[in-house]
Structure 1
Amino acid sequence: MHRRDDDRFNASAERARWGRTGRLLRAPGKHQLVVGRTVAQAPRVPAASLAEGTFTRLRHMLIVGEVRPGQQMTLGELARRLGTSPTPVRDALSRLAAAEALQQSREFGVIVPILGAAELEELCRLRLAVEGLAFATAAEMHRKADWRTFKLLHTDICRAAESARAVQFASAVWALRRALLGLSEPSVLSMFVDRIWCRFGPTFTQKIENDATRRELTMRLGDIVEAIGQRDRPRAERAVIGEIECRDLYRYIEPENKLAAPPLVPNATSVAAGHIQSGAHHV
């Protein structure tokens, strides 16, 4: 008897809580609270967050070389690969094309540029300037705990070097590079480094398919970590320059069907003509 009274009291309290129109719909495996005609649902992902996430994923694909120079992709293929709708992919591709990391063609869709000898030389100079400055800035704040992290990340590189999987190796190198250059937080320097590697990443990953190139890079990155551990900053800075200038990364081989890449730094003639639209802020 007391239990029935308790049940009536609980039911009355529940009606008072949700109002006369409130009712709990029960279905196998889910519960929905309906108030009048309104169904309480899980919050949707904001469109801006979805677009930014798609852009970040595509940018990372370029940086670690999940796509190859000269590879052609369609909007539909990329949307299926990323598990999203075409709209955020289209927006991300427009941003990357504006930053000259990709080329868009009505005939072929989206194309990963093939870098020529001039573009490779230009990227080497830009890496020396931008990454050299980033390392010099970050080195002032390196601590002993950071060095232990660098050692662990370099261990990952050593393992990946033996796997013969170029994308895995490139991902491990990128993790250490970001840590060494202090790029964990957004900044102007991180923006420029990201832009350079969106352009260089596919070619870099293609180059490190060579076992000797992977071994040389592993050794040079190890020299940087060792110099940091010994608190020998001048030696560390020289090691950074040596890693950037690794000759095998910029050796040009003429492809059979070359699609020229636009210059990363516009020349004076094209600027004067008003034909250049900077994409630095897009990446």
Structure 2
Amino acid sequence: MTKRNFQAATKPSRTRLLFIQRAFSCDAALVAYCNKTLEILDRSDTGMQSNAESNAAAQHDPAKGASKVDLAPITRHARLGDMAYEAMKEQLVRGHFLPRCKLTVRGVADALGVSSTPARDALNRLTAEGALQYSGPKTVIVPYLTMEALQEVTAMRLALEGLAAKRGAKNTRPGLPEALEEMQARMNDGLEKRRYADVLWTDKEFHFAVYRQSDMPHLVSTIEALWLRIGPSSHDLYTDFATQRSGLYNHQVVVESLREGDAESVGAAFERDIRDGYRCLKRAIRARGEQVSD
């Protein structure tokens, strides 16, 4: 393959970005990531045109070309690898993949419309983060949540999500309580119709709509990493949550407290929600036969 052909083959594809954007249109985080990547590509094209003009000028004025910086171009696969990772992470966080679900490089690549390289990169990153486990050379599985992991994740969630909720409540933008009520209405409908996957999808949006108001992006990303570990086991929350509706009560307290400007009560409601979930997941682990200490 000639150098020219190689460059053409690895040129970033806006068509591929737009395809992924449409395929995951309900995923706000991934859509935002696609938009950001498209903006980077637009700036890159503008920069390439500017560099070409500068190089042409430098031929007439050598001094202008003296500060040229030699950087390796970002590869198409690197960008698609990041996007594949974000897409898979979001699906795991929201409980789309159940424990013991097997994922192959080819299956992920076909589902996302990418080649094997970015799909493999995504699975390797998620495995390194403990969200997946290797079961073969090209196959990974979604692991069960252990009691040890549940205790660790719960302790961290109580500390970090409580902080994010309180900070978010203090920075609440107009319209947030109404947006949360609309989310809760969708969750109630999903509970009535036993569409628990839909409930989990919206539950994540409910929590993070408040956490993102904290204006602490590193804190929010750390919380997302904790949800990544617990997400696949979230289905074990049901049908207990559907029957007891403790989550509904906690969410109502969040909305009411936001309207009243009571940040402490917002944080306490989210912490209570986490503890209620902990008890449900603990019972599920015990039902699997794992030794659980009280």
* TM-score, with length taken from structure 2: 0.66
- Offset at residue 186 of structure 1 (A): 7.7
1:130 paired to 2:160:
yes
Structure 2 residue matching 1:245: 3-state secondary structure: helix
Partner of 2:173: 143
- Work out which of the residue numbers 244, 266, 274 in structure 2 matches 1:244: 274
Structure 2 residue matching 1:110: 3-state secondary structure: strand
Hey, which of these two has a bigger chunk of strand by percent?
A: 1
TM alignment of 1:1-283, pairs within 5 A:
44-45=13-14, 46-106=76-136, 109-182=139-212, 187-210=217-240, 212=242, 215-246=245-276, 247-251=279-283, 252-255=285-288
Higher RCO (CA-CA < 8 Å; seq separation 6+):
1
- Offset at residue 64 of structure 1 (A): 0.9
Partner of 2:34: none
Distance 2:109 2:138 in 1: 16
What letter is aligned with 1:248? C
- 1:16-58 Cα shifts (integer Å, max 9, x gaps): xxxxxxxxxxxxxxxxxxxxxxx9xx96244333222211110
Q: Which 5+ residue runs of structure 1 have no aligned equivalent?
A: 1-38, 259-283
- Offset at residue 94 of structure 1 (A): 1.2
- Offset at residue 63 of structure 1 (A): 0.6
- 1:63-101 Cα shifts (integer Å, max 9, x gaps): 111111122222122222223221111111111111111
What letter is aligned with 2:218? V
Alpha carbons of 1:211 and 1:193: their partners in 2 closer, same or farther (altered >3 Å)? closer
> Is the 1:64–1:205 Cα contact (8 Å) retained in structure 2?
no
- 1:220-239 Cα shifts (integer Å, max 9, x gaps): 21221122122222222221
Distance 1:160 1:191 in 2: 27
Distance 2:191 2:77 in 1: 39
- Offset at residue 117 of structure 1 (A): 1.6
Q: RMSD between aligned alpha carbons?
A: 2.6
> Is the 1:161–1:214 Cα contact (8 Å) retained in structure 2?
no
- 1:100-126 Cα shifts (integer Å, max 9, x gaps): 111123278201111122211221111
Distance 2:114 2:239 in 1: 30
Q: Which 5+ residue runs of structure 2 have no aligned equivalent?
A: 1-7, 15-75
Alpha carbons of 1:111 and 1:214: their partners in 2 closer, same or farther (altered >3 Å)? farther
Question: How many residue pairs get matched?
Answer: 217
> Is the 2:171–2:214 Cα contact (8 Å) retained in structure 1?
no
What letter is aligned with 2:281? L
Percent identical across equivalent pairs?
28
- Offset at residue 218 of structure 1 (A): 2.2
> Is the 2:167–2:213 Cα contact (8 Å) retained in structure 1?
no
Distance 1:162 1:108 in 2: 39
- Offset at residue 184 of structure 1 (A): 9.3
> Is the 1:160–1:169 Cα contact (8 Å) retained in structure 2?
yes
> Is the 1:207–1:213 Cα contact (8 Å) retained in structure 2?
no
Partner of 1:265: none
